[in-house]
Amino acid sequence: MGNMNKQGFTMVEVLVVITIIAVLSALGMGAVRSGMARAKQVHCASNMRQIGVALTAYAGNNNGFFPETTHTAALNKAWIAALEEEMGSAYDNLRLCPADPHMEERRERGGTSYVLNSYIFVPEIGPFGEELSERCNNINCIPEPERTLMAFIVSEAQTVEATSDHTHSRAWTGSWENVLRDIQPDRHRAGRANSDHSKGSSNYLFVDGHVETWRSSEVKRRIDSGENFAEPPNLREEG
């Protein structure tokens, strides 16, 4: 009767197999994370489009005026609350971005994941607290609504209270740090943020109701070059 040679895996072969399995697992998890991030980005964009519809409907019922932010309205009365009738039963879901890590806290406090552009809704303030410009929160004084940004996704650096409902976008010129204090340009990403938040993307709502998704790296490049993309083109003041 001949000898039967029994040969098992060597240690090197075992390590190779384990490494291959780990790599395949990591690739699979990466694809899952990327897919989830994409789904939340699409859901968020849909929310913003419907908010845009609600804002336009509100303006149509109020002589062209959009709702006020907490800068000029009653404390803790965010602009989003004025749209509850227009949004109907979907209000509590539409005002929150599914990728917002503070979504539930904002829900409880009556806030929103979205902030309005202060160029439109907040007058410029001088060194002694005087108003240097009029608000222009009326659809009739925005000559290029398709090029004018209305709303952004709020920064994680902001409080979850309802008062965090508008930007300070006049201070964005040349300052990426000021942008990050107000909005989250990398809200939609797979994995953790990098140190300067230049990975990932975010959604942007325009006055005409359309939504665009911009890569954070491109937004940072524009700010670093001195451009302030939040400034409305040819804005007319309305007293």
Q: Is the pLDDT of residue 176 over 80?
A: yes
Residue 1 covered by a domain: no
Q: Is the pLDDT of residue 27 over 60?
A: no
Q: Is the pLDDT of residue 196 over 60?
A: yes
Residue 4 covered by a domain: no
Q: Which sign does the torsion angle of CA 194, 199, 200, 205 carry?
A: positive
Residue 208 covered by a domain: yes
pLDDT band at residue 173 using 50, 70 and 90 as cut-offs: very high
Q: Is the pLDDT of residue 239 over 50?
A: no
Domain tally for the chain? 1
Q: Is the pLDDT of residue 18 over 90?
A: no
Residue 181 covered by a domain: yes
Average pLDDT, the chain: 86
Which pair of structure tokens corresponds to residue 212? 């665009």
Instruction: State residue 191's pLDDT score.
Output: 84
Mode of pairing for the β-strands spanning 201-206 and 211-215: antiparallel
Residue 151 covered by a domain: yes
Q: How far apart are CA 124 and CA 120, in angstroms?
A: 10
- The full DSSP string for 88-116 is GGGHHHHTS-TT-TTHHHHHHHT--SEEE
Instruction: State residue 77's pLDDT score.
Output: 75
Average pLDDT over residues 167-186: 96
pLDDT tens for residues 135-148? 688 999 899 999 99
Residue 232 covered by a domain: no
Residue 231 covered by a domain: no
pLDDT tens for residues 80-108? 999 999 999 999 999 999 999 999 999 99
Residue ranges making up the domain that contains 58: 13-224
Q: Is residue 207 within 8 Å of 151, Cβ to Cβ?
A: no
Average pLDDT over residues 127-154: 82
Q: Is the pLDDT of residue 76 over 60?
A: no
Residue 39 covered by a domain: yes
